[in-house]
Amino acid sequence: MPANLAAMLRSLVKAKQTASLIELRFLRDVARTLPTVSASGSSKTNAPTMTRRRTLKCPRCDRRFARPVHLGRHLSATHGIKKKRAA
């Protein structure tokens, strides 16, 4: 029995090492495909990004939104207010 136990332990250690290597490769691939942001807030890639300022303030709380659609969704989901339709 101890011989089988030692062999099983060696096989488990080898399987753990293999899983760790696969996980490390996966994480490297994911990190390579995701855009990274430095401390200054600029992206390493030169892809143009359009960010809108959150200028629309919720009348019921302190949340702010960049688009009227987001504000309307927040109002109906959080505060139970239905958005008025333009005629």
Task: Write the DSSP assignment of 13-82 as a string of letters.
Answer: HHHHHHHHHHHHHHHHHHHHHS--B-TTS-BSS----------EE-SSSS-EESSHHHHHHHIIIII-PP
Q: Is residue 31 part of a domain?
A: no
Instruction: Name the domain count of the chain.
Output: 1
Structural domain including 86 reads 54-87
Q: Is residue 14 part of a domain?
A: no
pLDDT in tens, 10-58: 999 999 999 999 999 998 888 888 876 666 655 555 555 667 788 899 9
Upper half-sphere CA count for residue 16 (Cβ side, 13 Å): 6
Q: Is residue 87 part of a domain?
A: yes
* Its pTM surpasses 0.75: no
Mean per-residue pLDDT over the chain, rounded: 82
What pLDDT was estimated at residue 31? 83
**If DSSP codes are grouped into helix, strand and coil, which group holds residue 1?**
coil
